[in-house]
Chain A
Amino acid sequence: MDSISQADVIQILKMVEASHMDELHLEMGDLKLTVKRSAGLSPSSAQTPVKYTETPSATAPAAVEVAKKRETAPVDGPPMTGSREGLTAIRASMLGTFYRSPKPGDPPFVEVGQTVTAEDTVCIIEVMKLFSSIKAGLEGRIAEVCVQDGELVEFDQTLFWVEETDQGKVSGEVKSV
């Protein structure tokens, strides 16, 4: 192979997307290709398992402000850069049941409009009684909550859309709890 077509590039992108690589450098003769996965969105980086003492009911009306529900998870996952109309996605790092609040009846971890830092917990995903806190993994303002409380989410499904903080732009705001 001495040349590289658009189709080849698409295949390379697919392989990178499906792998754990963060960066790929390819050099063939005069051609140089560099593929970089955007930081902060690594799906496995933002989870810490926690054990619940109380089992939340799947029908608990904990969700207060549920934004427009997406019909089903997209079959063709959005690109890993995840940027849409200036928004960035927080994605499910595992398949499981999505909970917006620490326990039934409690207020949600985050509401639309709220600012979050990378370390803030935005929801819990449960896989067979194992509850994992999902962290925002980025800094910004929650623009949309995409999933209803108690819903099954797929791996990599978009959970929230976030308006990412431009350096300095939103830094004056105080995070509400």
Chain B
Amino acid sequence: MKRISRVFIANRGEIAVRIIRACREIGIETVLAVSQADRESLPAKMADRSICIGPPPAAQSYLKIDTLITAALGTGADAIHPGYGFLAEQPRFPEACARHNLIFIGPRAENIHQMGDKLVARQVAAAVGIPMIPGSEQIDTPRDALQAAETIGYPVLLKASAGGGGKGMKIVPGPSEMPRIFNEASAEARSAFGDERLYMEKLIANARHIEVQVMGDAQGNAVHLFERDCSLQRRYQKLVEEAPSTAVTPETREHVCQAALAIARHIHYENAGTVEFILDRDQNRFYFLEMNTRIQVEHPVTEMVTGTDLVREQFRIAAGHPLSFKQGDIRLKGHAIECRINAESPQRGFMPSPGLLTRWEPPSGDGIRIDSHCFPGYFVPPFYDSLLAKIITTGRDRSEAIGRMKGALDRFFVEGLETNIPFHSMIMTRADYLRGNINTRWVENLLAEEQIENENHSIC
């Protein structure tokens, strides 16, 4: 057993707050890395100590491994929590931690390596017999792409090998668009990940995004904590997540959860991870998509329906303790929904909307959880992502959770900048959403419809 008494948090925003909360409960001291722009942030006030690591741009602060390690060692930390994003899935980070005897609160570098390279991840999934979306190996030229697409059949999806978060991912409807889109996708992949390698998948038109939370410990135990449905996305950015999924039958649930476990076991996965699948609604088949080797933004919905604390569990596992629960202890109870509240303007094409929060009054009440780093008077800096808060509502069933979400959104008062709260409110009243009749393209189709309606309206 290793002892963690002071953790260095190499992240910001709501996840920094979430990690500090968990640490307070288990009696671990916290040192927070802050950029110059985050010196007066809420997590900086909550942490036992904060230390300024560099100027606002992440490349000069939150992404500087050497600086973070120096700061962690210099402040006497014995562990580092990477949160999500930034360096959470860069194997060089846990490797650097290991060289300096710092415990990395996350998976082993080897696991991150394996699953971080999407092509290697596909090989792992294939090795344990999990179906995969028909696709290609690495594609280097537009010419190769044309050939591969002929075999797979249009429409196809070009994806970045080092990808994630929807970057470097593009739909190609037919051969005439291939050369242009191929070059765009590889340029995007290069700028986002420093790796321009692409591969191709068949586009599944009527798809649900289903992902399974897994956790493994150093003793070789692994459990799943059921699925989350993250089908409501805009440009591959998740907007609304829920658990359990309305699109999954008990048999399919058993299948995807066992598939996720098989991958975790195969690679001796340690700590929290998520195995993502695409469920083809027309064929009622699921396919392996990728594995994320970090705690995810939407982890609270799983916590709410399973009664677990995943961040706390991350610390236990990193310290060498066995999982505090067995598979049989984990039961689904009720329904949970999460809405991501972003500083962006739905009216202006979801443009980011940083600025000063002159009013910030989040809702509270039964079955409402708010994970946020915002407060009245907080200046939302323009340097980072636009997530302001996550509203998580729970209910005995889905309709109760939706009802609470509607009420929570109505009572969420934000002034000073634009948010997507009205957009979430609109989703919560849509008949298709209430019936669970949605897919991964639903939000974008809805936006396209709205645009047509608005244009017609302005003509009248």
Q: Report A's interface with B, CB cutoff 8 A.
A: 7, 11, 14-15, 17-20, 43-44, 73, 75-77, 94-97, 126-128, 130, 152, 154-157
Contacts of A11 in B (CB 8 A): 355-356, 379
Contacts of B382 in A (CB 8 A): 15
Interface centre among A11, A14, A18 (most CB of B within 10 A): A18
Interface centre among B39, B61, B75, B355 (most CB of A within 10 A): B39
Contacts of B69 in A (CB 8 A): 128
Per-residue contact bits, chain B 379-390, to A (CB 8 Å; 1 contact, 0 not)? 101110000000
Instruction: Give how many A-B residue pairs fall within 8 Å (CB-CB).
Output: 67
Q: Which 4 A/B pairs are nearest by Cβ-Cβ distance?
A: A152-B74, A154-B52, A128-B66, A18-B37
- Residue of B50, B51, B355, B381 touching A95 (CB-CB under 8 A): B51
Tell me if B52 and A157 are in contact (CB < 8 A).
yes
Q: A76-B40, A152-B70 are in contact. List 6 more A-B contacts (CB 8 A).
A: A18-B37, A18-B381, A75-B44, A95-B71, A127-B67, A127-B70
Tell me if B53 and A95 are in contact (CB < 8 A).
yes
> Chain B interface residue count: which class?
20 to 34
> Chain A's nearest CB lies how many Å from the CB of B38?
9
CA distance A152 to B72 in the complex (A): 10
CA distance A152 to B77 in the complex (A): 13
Q: Report B's interface with A, CB cutoff 8 A.
A: 36-37, 39-40, 44, 50-56, 61, 66-67, 69-71, 74-75, 355-356, 379, 381-383
Tell me if B53 and A155 are in contact (CB < 8 A).
yes
CA distance A152 to B73 in the complex (A): 9
> Chain A's nearest CB lies how many Å from the CB of B357?
11
> Chain A's nearest CB lies how many Å from the CB of B441?
37
> Chain B's nearest CB lies how many Å from the CB of A36?
19
Interface centre among B36, B355, B356 (most CB of A within 10 A): B36
CA distance A156 to B381 in the complex (A): 18
Contacts of A128 in B (CB 8 A): 66, 69-70
Tell me if A96 and B39 are in contact (CB < 8 A).
no
Tell me if B39 and A95 are in contact (CB < 8 A).
no
Contacts of B70 in A (CB 8 A): 95-97, 126-128, 152
Asked whether A75 and B54 contact (CB < 8 A) given A128-B70, A152-B75, the answer is: no
Residue ID in chain B nearest A152 by CB atoms: B74
Tell me if A75 and B75 are in contact (CB < 8 A).
no
CA distance A10 to B356 in the complex (A): 11
